Structure 1
Amino acid sequence: MPKPDLRLYGLLDASLGAERLPILARQAAENGATLLQYRDKTAGTRDLVESACAIRAALEGTGVPLLVNDRVDVALAAGAAGVHLGREDMAPEDARALLGPRAIVGITVKNEADALGAASPAVDYACIGGVFETLSKRNPDPPVGLAGLAALRRLVASLSPDLPVGAIAGIDAERLASVLAAGADGIAVISALFHSDDVPRTAGSLRAAVDAGLSGRPA
Structure 2
Amino acid sequence: MSARDPDLLLYLVTDADACGDRGVEETVRAAVAGGVTTVQLRDHRATTRELYCSAVRLRELLSGSAVTLVVDDRLDVALAAGVDGVHLGQSDLPVERARAVAGPEMVIGLSVANREEAERAASLPSGTIDYLGVGPVFPTTTKADAGPTIGLGELGTICAMTSLPCVAIGGIGEAQARAVIGAGAAGVAVVAAICAAGDPEEAAQQLRRRVGR
Distance 1:23 1:110, change over 3 A: same
Specify the code of the residue in structure 2 equivalent to 1:151.
T
TM-score w.r.t. the length of structure 2 is 0.91
Aligned partner of 1:7 in structure 2 is 9
C-alpha distance in 2 between matches for 1:52 and 1:123? 21
Matched, 1:150 2:156: yes
The residue matched to 2:40 in structure 1 has which SS? strand
How many residue pairs get aligned? The number is 207
Aligned partner of 1:188 in structure 2 is 189
Q: CA deviation at 1:19?
A: 7.1
Specify the code of the residue in structure 2 equivalent to 1:209.
R
Question: Do the aligned residues in 2 keep the contact of 1:109 with 1:115 (CA within 8 Å)?
Answer: yes
Aligned partner of 1:46 in structure 2 is 49
The residue matched to 1:10 in structure 2 has which SS? strand
Aligned partner of 2:79 in structure 1 is 76
Question: Do the aligned residues in 1 keep the contact of 2:169 with 2:188 (CA within 8 Å)?
Answer: yes
C-alpha distance in 2 between matches for 1:100 and 1:28? 30
Specify the code of the residue in structure 2 equivalent to 1:139.
D
Q: Which runs of 5+ in 2 are unaligned?
A: none
Q: Which runs of 5+ in 1 are unaligned?
A: 213-219
Deviations 1:28-83 (A, max 9, x none): 12221110000011221111111111111111222211100000001011111110
Fraction of identical pairs, as percent: 41
C-alpha distance in 2 between matches for 1:205 and 1:154? 27
Q: CA deviation at 1:18?
A: 8.9
CA root-mean-square deviation: 1.6
Query: Runs (4+) of structure 1 moved beyond 3 Å?
Result: none
C-alpha distance in 2 between matches for 1:8 and 1:153? 17
Aligned partner of 1:216 in structure 2 is none
Question: Do the aligned residues in 2 keep the contact of 1:9 with 1:36 (CA within 8 Å)?
Answer: yes
Deviations 1:129-186 (A, max 9, x none): 0001000011252100111111211222xxxx2x211100101111112111111111
C-alpha distance in 2 between matches for 1:179 and 1:140? 18
Aligned partner of 1:170 in structure 2 is 171
C-alpha distance in 2 between matches for 1:210 and 1:11? 17
Aligned partner of 2:36 in structure 1 is 33
C-alpha distance in 1 between matches for 2:53 and 2:181? 35
C-alpha distance in 1 between matches for 2:46 and 2:203? 28
Specify the code of the residue in structure 2 equivalent to 1:146.
L
Q: CA deviation at 1:17?
A: 5.0
